[in-house]
Amino acid sequence: MKSLIKKFAQIPGPSGYENQIRAAVRAEVEPCANEVIVDALGNLIVRWGEKGPDGLRMMLSAHLDEIGVIATHVDKKGFVRFAGLGGVHPAYCVGGHVRFLNGTRGVISFEKESGLKKMPSLDKLFIDVGATSPGDCPVGVGDVAVFARKYQELGEKIVTKALDDRIGVVVLVEALRQLHEENLDSPHELYFVFSTQEEVGLRGAGTSAYHINPDLGLSVDVTSTGDTPKGSKMEVRLGEGPAIKVRDGGMLSDPRVVDWMVSTAEEHEIPCQLEILKGGTTDARAIQVTRAGVPVGCLSVPCRYVHSPSEMVDYGDVEDSVRLLVALLSDQVPQLEGEE
């Protein structure tokens, strides 16, 4: 999977501009699919399998888009001001490199009025593309860029941009491929959704869930870790397996779904962790409140430095995430209708 991770992570796809990464994913999944559609919001929806007597219509979602920036103003000296597309943090921007979708590259710096003692806000940052005036600036208002960072392997760790959520996309692609190529039985009708505009409001997952009307939904996304010096106080660490979400800043997983995911991991001897994330959320939030409501859960890949240009995952966690997802999709799901 490493070559696929590298390939997907390097393709630009900021929120609302997912066409290039969608085309690359479609090329990988189309040979395995019973049906492929691209809806009006750009979501790639792949159907596989048929619903058996004890099966469910199940939606799996990983988002295509990555955080980015959009040009809002070019000043008289050619410096580009910008706003974030998604959760862009100034601490991760200064000194960073960006690549606009038109091919222009630039470096981010900041106004020096406050010195180096205080982190500047986003409106104090600018992108230097080497221009001297608006006339020779190759970037204009509305042009969009993503962070530029090469793929690296540090031992068993993978570092690159856009692992949020290209790593989830890879997990879905590989799970679909294994189900199809190994002729694995599943009692479910499965919809693999590669959603758009997650970083700006979970928009693609909401419209996809309305279209599919699933009996159960699972998102596959990254989550933060608590294993760095003075980092977040949470019990998720790299190298200890995929995380099963209990709660995040936007939703509570259905306890029956959590129990099913944990028991499946234990049955197949797959290491896993329980995740409670204080802030942020995933596509599961949008799926959960679609139509009359959907039981949901989330399979999270532990990731350091989320929403930075240098996100980091452990390759073993990625492999175990695929193993767990395939095991879940191959098994029946406990009764989820009505009260427990």
Residues known to be catalytic: 198
In terms of Cα–Cα distance, which of 104, 109, 108, 97 is closest to 138? 104
User: First CA to last CA across the chain, in angstroms?
Assistant: 39
Distance CA 145, CA 172 (A): 26
163-181 helix and 315-330 helix, angle to the nearest 10 degrees:
50
The two tokens of residue 167 are 């790593």
Sheet arrangement for strand 57-63: 35-38, 44-48, 189-195, 57-63, 216-223, 296-302, 243-247, 273-276
Question: For the residues of 59-73, what is the DSSP string, one character each?
Answer: EEEEE--B-EEEEEE
103-108, Cβ contacts within 8 angstroms, sequence gap of 24 or more: 104/129, 104/138, 104/139, 104/143, 104/145, 105/129, 105/148, 106/80, 106/130, 106/139, 106/145
In terms of Cα–Cα distance, which of 166, 301, 307, 282 is closest to 219? 282
Sheet arrangement for strand 311-314: 152-154, 157-160, 311-314
Report whether 281 contacts 202 (CB < 8 A): yes
Residue with tokens 């995040």: 248
